[in-house]
């Protein structure tokens, strides 16, 4: 008797943790991963998470060989707008037979609970292939498998401009401060994966300029944390990547 695979979509960030998670689920005989889903800031035409251009995202998913669907968001979406748009898209996927939603999260409990709560309403089951695994071992596995990824954004209070534009390798890991997670799971840095065992060919790009930007720091909703001595803004360094056609 031939087992029928369950239809699944992958929440694709375009970074290293997504790449490693996808590598693992593609070996799962129970899942049919037939779609990559990515949130894009439609105003800037860039990946919402870290600002990589849509053109490079599209080239990346073509190189992987799995169709891409984007969730196009406004310039500064509210949580209500984000949730509404996500529910609209996922409901459509549910109607097309998708039953599983895959994420590359590792240990952010609040985020995991939020994802499960939202998707439970739509009768979609969440899958977390690398959940609770040692981040040092995960990034080492990523490197050993032959994946290649470039740092495209860093939180400036953790990593300065010298870290953006670097390839994730042993030297990069050795240079990380002790209080920075090896996978950047606390938002310290974000990456763009451009080669590895899930790719038919590498994604070609050119290195652009480094850009510094500041954003309003999200307000803490807990009353006991309303008095805060830190800055009301937070800074990020970005590495511009340009298509190389």
Tokens of 18: 């997504």
Do 147 and 233 meet the contact criterion of CB atoms below 8 Å apart?
no
Structure confidence by residue, pLDDT tens digits, 75-123: 989 999 999 999 999 999 999 999 999 999 999 999 999 999 999 999 9
Residue 224: the pLDDT is: 30
Share of the chain above pLDDT 90, in %: 87
Structure confidence by residue, pLDDT tens digits, 192-228: 999 999 999 999 999 999 999 998 776 643 333 333 3
Report whether CATH 3.40.50.620 matches the domain 6-127: yes
What residue ranges do the domains of the chain occupy? Answer: 6-127, 137-243
Concatenating the DSSP letter of every residue in 125-154 gives: EEE-TTTT--HHHHHHHHHHTT-EEEEEEE
How much of the chain is in helix, strand and coil states, percent to nearest 5? 30, 30, 40
Structure confidence by residue, pLDDT tens digits, 16-46: 999 999 999 999 999 999 999 999 999 999 9
Structure confidence by residue, pLDDT tens digits, 53-77: 999 999 999 999 999 999 999 998 9
DSSP lists the bridge partners of residue 31 as 6
Per this entry, what is the length of the chain?
A: 245
Strands (E), 13-65: 31-41, 46-47
Tokens 């310039």 sit on residue: 75
CA distances from 11 to 35, 37, 82, 104, 212 (A): 9, 5, 15, 8, 27
User: Strands across the sheet with 233-243, in order?
Assistant: 189-195, 148-155, 233-243, 205-216
CA trace torsion 53, 55, 57, 62 (10° rounding): -170
Do 172 and 142 meet the contact criterion of CB atoms below 8 Å apart?
no
Residue 231: the pLDDT is: 63
């Amino acid at each position: 008797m031939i087992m029928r695979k369950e239809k699944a979509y992958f929440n694709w960030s375009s970074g290293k943790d997504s790449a490693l998670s996808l590598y693992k689920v593609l070996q799962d005989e129970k899942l049919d991963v037939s779609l990559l889903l990515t949130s894009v800031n439609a105003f800037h035409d860039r990946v919402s998470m870290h600002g990589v251009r849509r053109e490079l995202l599209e080239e990346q998913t073509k190189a992987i060989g799995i169709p891409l669907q984007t969730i196009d968001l406004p310039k500064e979406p509210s949580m209500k707008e984000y949730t509404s748009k996500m529910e609209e898209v996922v409901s459509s996927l549910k109607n097309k037979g998708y039953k599983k939603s895959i994420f590359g999260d590792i240990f952010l409990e609040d985020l995991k609970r939020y994802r499960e709560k939202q998707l439970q309403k739509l009768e979609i089951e969440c899958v977390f292939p690398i959940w609770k695994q040692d981040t040092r071992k995960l990034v080492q596995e990523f490197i050993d498998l032959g994946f290649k990824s470039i740092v495209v954004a860093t939180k400036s209070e953790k990593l300065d401009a010298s870290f953006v534009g670097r390839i994730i390798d042993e030297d990069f890991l050795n240079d990380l401060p002790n209080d920075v997670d090896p996978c950047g799971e606390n938002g310290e840095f974000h990456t763009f994966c451009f080669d590895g065992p899930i790719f038919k060919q590498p994604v070609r790009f050119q290195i652009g300029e480094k850009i510094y930007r500041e954003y309003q720091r999200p307000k803490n909703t807990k009353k006991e944390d309303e008095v805060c001595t830190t800055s009301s803004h937070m800074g990020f360094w970005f590495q511009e990547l340009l298509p190389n056609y």
